[in-house]
Chains A and B, each alone.
Chain A
């Protein structure tokens, strides 16, 4: 039973990592949102399993919260946003996709190496997944860096939060409920603010390309 469950958790973790890579490689914004929702779903699955194993009820709540927020509400908000902004494409990345994937692999190796001593100390059932969580944080961060449009950057930011949440679950069986509620609310508010911000950028430059912001620099 335990091996099955740990295999299950590892499976979810692997899915999360795969989805992170998929998001890194994805050029279309619509698909990106779908991938993000899927990643959210995987995190929910992993959290539920951990909650079942460790018998911690508050993890069920946070899984439910994540489900509502990251699988339904935020993707729906993002859908509306790109409809109203009329952007469905994001073809430009600053670095081409294959090199991005290579850098991504290096980051994953780095994250695993970093997590190794920590997971050796831990006796938790989820100990193998810390490296994956860290890797998905780094990969999302890199996605924020290489995308030049505003919407994918926001998605990168949200995916990074997914990774953090997963790290918290896998390393310490979740953060205290208050902290999780706070973070969830922050993410929601962040999405709203960034949405407003994107409208402003488009009004100012007639485009969502954030490279236009360079013009604001004083010379």
Chain B
């Protein structure tokens, strides 16, 4: 017991605090100092309290509460069980760091009044927490919609830019299409009882057909929010459009609420699991992951790169859930627990490192005013804090030991290695391919991250103004440090973290991993048995540190201070200029070649006699042209057909009612006789 009292009361208290802070922000609409220096740090503190309450809730029995708000006879049912508590922890802990950063990030005189931003931001946080706590469909949908709306207004903060308005519209559209699917899913789950509480849905025994219908609707609805493959188009538009702390919150935290919803429906509300659901999720997830990472490598906007990387991580999470479903459907609970643990670990890990990376792009953006990688470079010398913190995030993101990303990806690959135990030979043949795809994705993610870090922070500044870049302020540093600390801690102490994930997996698949994982001491992670696989992060840390130290010493001894001779023939260039460095586009070019079928490339080649040749390649998404534009055209066509009815002539409208009247009179049963 850390806080004392019921955890759910603390969680509700934090939600109330966030709402009050938001309203205070509205009251102090243009008082910048008050909003930035008082309200946002208080919000961060509330996030910390929420994280503690969640940890306490994770270790205790489920707690319920009923809030008499909303329509009469329809109160909000809330419930804090381990699954909810785990996601609350992620929201609280990541939200704490992001709020701290935001306190220093929002500047005076940036269009939208700071108080309004503060209101939308805290409403966003509160509704995310409420989504996780909700225990009936009504409360869930209310929270889900207020989450979508508040984030829409945050995305369109700079609404004067037409592209941002378009991105916001796309986001809102897909979010609502998804919300309809979720609503329908709850409609199927309540099985005609008319009772929309989750408690009722849990006891319903649906036939396999209806259970599959509910599951597919959930995949569509939550997939729209998470950015799963055909529904991903809004994500690379909307996440970069928002201010950086909001991008961090959306990418790092909001996407996880979709994963939460999928877990809630798939493992908790549905009483049975079918194996093909798992295979479907696995295929969708891997396609999404590969697609996301390939697109991430060819981006030249730093925030878009991170947004595509988020798509990739969502894909990995989905694959892990799919694998857990497959194992669960065949009754192999220990392996299901392993895959589910990998998924939840990655949820936490991605929340921290992706938030951290988005925050560093925010600092870079403020210091330089540039988000195009082609105009950045060499910032490590001018912004050392940001650069080193970004390096931690980059390590975690590319899955390097001993950082957090490695543990989750390693656990995921471990669970793939056990698929030969499945009783289905078809799956046995296909799943190794899936494992290969995961490995490919992880490698390409590393490639994308090298590009991200290398082009922004290493080398020489590509523009003169970059030399005036300044490092992040106090609050920004504090926020990023908090997130970076989690990236390191999750990497170094996996067994501790798995102990907190255990209550969730025990509840969802009936078995935990912690005992086995820590069987050989707290410092060694052995998910199955010590003979098969083990990972001691501390050894890795020592090894990496030792290797670095030795390299440093060797360089100092043998290389440093020696006389350097220039090459006799330097291609006519006696020294290196910033323009000779590898550019973002150049770095992504091999990937563009190898994975050419993924992209829709539009090349503009100069004419042979052109005096000022100009070469341009536009990389765009095939789904946009292949799926979305045809749908948009079909909608326009149908709308034009309906538009024909609208002649604008009163006589025509009167004729419509006249004909309707005649038709109705004809339908009078007496006439037929």
Q: Chain A: residues with CB nearer than 8 A to chain B?
A: 94, 110, 113-114, 117-118, 138, 141-142, 144-146, 148, 153, 210-211, 213-217
B617-673 at interface with A (beta carbon < 8 Å): 646-651, 654-655, 658, 661-662, 665, 668, 670-671, 673
The minimal Cβ–Cβ distance linking A157 to chain B, given in whole angstroms, is 10
Measured in the bound complex, the distance between the Cα atoms of B76 and A158 in whole Å is 54
Collect the chain A residues with CB atoms within 8 Å of residue B654's CB.
141, 144-145
Measured in the bound complex, the distance between the Cα atoms of B648 and A145 in whole Å is 13
Collect the chain B residues with CB atoms within 8 Å of residue A141's CB.
654, 658, 661
Query: Are A213 and B648 closer than 8 Å at their CB atoms?
Result: yes
Q: Which residue of A lies closest to B651 (CB)?
A: A145
Query: Are A117 and B673 closer than 8 Å at their CB atoms?
Result: yes
Collect the chain B residues with CB atoms within 8 Å of residue A153's CB.
650
Query: Are A94 and B651 closer than 8 Å at their CB atoms?
Result: yes
Q: Which residue of B lies closest to A211 (CB)?
A: B649
Contact residue among A113, A114, A210 (Cβ-Cβ distance under 8 Å from B650): A210
Measured in the bound complex, the distance between the Cα atoms of B499 and A39 in whole Å is 91
The minimal Cβ–Cβ distance linking B378 to chain A, given in whole angstroms, is 54
Collect the chain A residues with CB atoms within 8 Å of residue B648's CB.
213-217
Q: Which residue of B lies closest to A107 (CB)?
A: B662
Collect the chain B residues with CB atoms within 8 Å of residue A138's CB.
658, 661-662
The minimal Cβ–Cβ distance linking B140 to chain A, given in whole angstroms, is 39
Query: Are B658 and A145 closer than 8 Å at their CB atoms?
Result: yes
Tell me if B's interface is mostly helix, strand, loop or mixed.
helix
Collect the chain B residues with CB atoms within 8 Å of residue A216's CB.
648
Collect the chain A residues with CB atoms within 8 Å of residue B665's CB.
110, 114
| B646, B654, B670 pick with most chain A CB within 10 angstroms | B654
Collect the chain B residues with CB atoms within 8 Å of residue A145's CB.
651, 654-655, 658
B88-143 at interface with A (beta carbon < 8 Å): none
Collect the chain B residues with CB atoms within 8 Å of residue A146's CB.
651
Q: Which residue of B lies closest to A150 (CB)?
A: B650
Q: Which residue of A lies closest to B669 (CB)?
A: A117
Given contacts A94-B651, A213-B649, A214-B649, contact A114 B668 (CB under 8 A): yes
The minimal Cβ–Cβ distance linking B655 to chain A, given in whole angstroms, is 5
Q: Chain B: residues with CB nearer than 8 A to chain A?
A: 646-651, 654-655, 658, 661-662, 665, 668, 670-671, 673
Collect the chain A residues with CB atoms within 8 Å of residue B668's CB.
114
Given contacts A114-B671, A117-B670, A117-B671, contact A213 B662 (CB under 8 A): no
The minimal Cβ–Cβ distance linking A74 to chain B, given in whole angstroms, is 21
Collect the chain A residues with CB atoms within 8 Å of residue B661's CB.
138, 141
Query: Are A118 and B646 closer than 8 Å at their CB atoms?
Result: no
Collect the chain A residues with CB atoms within 8 Å of residue B658's CB.
138, 141-142, 145
A selection of 24 A-B contacts at a CB cut-off of 8 Å is A110-B662, A110-B665, A114-B668, A114-B670, A114-B671, A117-B671, A138-B658, A138-B661, A138-B662, A141-B654, A141-B658, A142-B658, A144-B654, A145-B651, A145-B654, A145-B658, A146-B651, A148-B651, A210-B651, A213-B648, A214-B648, A215-B648, A216-B648, A217-B646
Measured in the bound complex, the distance between the Cα atoms of B646 and A103 in whole Å is 25
Measured in the bound complex, the distance between the Cα atoms of B647 and A153 in whole Å is 18
Measured in the bound complex, the distance between the Cα atoms of B662 and A144 in whole Å is 15
Q: A210-B650, A215-B648 are in contact. List 17 more A-B contacts (CB 8 A).
A: A94-B651, A110-B662, A114-B668, A114-B671, A138-B658, A141-B661, A142-B658, A146-B651, A148-B651, A210-B649, A210-B651, A211-B649, A213-B649, A213-B650, A214-B648, A216-B648, A217-B646
Query: Are A113 and B671 closer than 8 Å at their CB atoms?
Result: yes
Collect the chain B residues with CB atoms within 8 Å of residue A110's CB.
662, 665
Collect the chain A residues with CB atoms within 8 Å of residue B655's CB.
145
Q: Which residue of A lies closest to B650 (CB)?
A: A210
Query: Are A214 and B647 closer than 8 Å at their CB atoms?
Result: yes
Q: Which residue of A lies closest to B673 (CB)?
A: A117
Measured in the bound complex, the distance between the Cα atoms of B654 and A153 in whole Å is 10
Measured in the bound complex, the distance between the Cα atoms of B654 and A138 in whole Å is 12
Collect the chain B residues with CB atoms within 8 Å of residue A211's CB.
649
